[in-house]
Amino acid sequence: MADSDTPKQNLRERVRIIIHEADTPAGKAFDVALIVAILGSVAVVMMLTVPSLDSWHDSLYTVEWGFTILFTLEYALRLWSVNAPAKYARSYFGVIDLVAILPTYISAIFPGANYLLVVRALRVLRIFRILKLIEYVRGARTMMRALRASFAKIMVFLLAIVILATIIGAVMYLVEGQPGTKFESIPQSIYWAIVTLTTVGYGDITPATPLGQFLAAVVMIMGYSIIAVPTGIVSAEMVKADGPDAPNTRACPNCGVEDHRTNAVHCHACGETLHAGDV
């Protein structure tokens, strides 16, 4: 039985190296071809929305189905070539790979869902692996880890902003809420407070009384100081997350998950021993 399994295991390992690694000529060629196909499919989705190309709609839709079938086979091979497919399916690229093919199948039930296929553009991030732009990959992953670490603080900050905008909106309604004005309700006034507090300032609603204008000026100045808060939170976490042993692009031979530190011996997702010399 072991002898009969050897060719299959060898084939799976060859497929794994080609699909999951970008350090071999075959792996690099595969990733380049994949990125070309991704860009082509995104272009097709965009052309489907161009009115002047309505006469080509059926042909473009057929081409899109061809891309979807191609990406479905590629996704299946990615799962088949690793020993722990569930781990890869839950990884960042595993989720993106799945999301990149689902809209076309969903569109068979809910027409129009295929336009969400532009999310395939996220898969082009693999180009950093192909070109060995490790610093860019590390930078992106450092930012992602910092955002995850900052999530609780940012949520508390956003909740405080919502409460503040509600209070400011209610006060502005008391000041400006006269018949015939655009501050006709507290929700409308809260909308104004959010637009002003975030320094967007559409100008569709403006206070007319001196007191209302004074309050608006205070909210505008407050908005500038508030914008700096989430930036500081994320920046502090990025300093903690970055370091000399920041994660690189090597993939686990067992589950295909990436994001391992330079000195890592075992996969952080499944615990499998990483290949010595992988970078």
- 0.75 exceeded by the pTM? no
**pLDDT for res 262:** 60
Cα gap 192→64, rounded to integer Å: 43
pLDDT of residue 278: 47
What CATH class has 144-241?
mainly alpha
The structural domains of the chain, with segments of one domain joined by +, span 2-132, 144-241
Determine contact, residues 236/229, Cβ cutoff 8 Å. Answer: no
In 10 A of CB 70, how many CB atoms?
A: 14
What local confidence, expressed as pLDDT, does residue 191 receive?
92
pLDDT digits (tens, 9 = 90+) for 50-106: 888 888 888 988 998 898 899 899 999 989 988 888 888 888 778 888 888 888 888
CA distance 245 to 237: 16
Provide the mean pLDDT of the chain.
78
pLDDT tens, residue by residue, 145-185? 777 777 888 888 888 889 999 999 999 998 888 777 788 88
Q: What pLDDT score does 11 carry?
A: 83
Distance, in Å, from the CA atom of 217 to the CA atom of 208, rounded to the nearest integer, reads 13
Mean pLDDT over residues 212-238, rounded? 80
pLDDT digits (tens, 9 = 90+) for 33-62: 888 888 888 888 888 888 888 888 889 889
> What is d(CA 32, CA 28) in angstroms, rounded to the nearest whole number?
6
Record: fold of 2-132: Four Helix Bundle (Hemerythrin (Met), subunit A) (1.20.120)
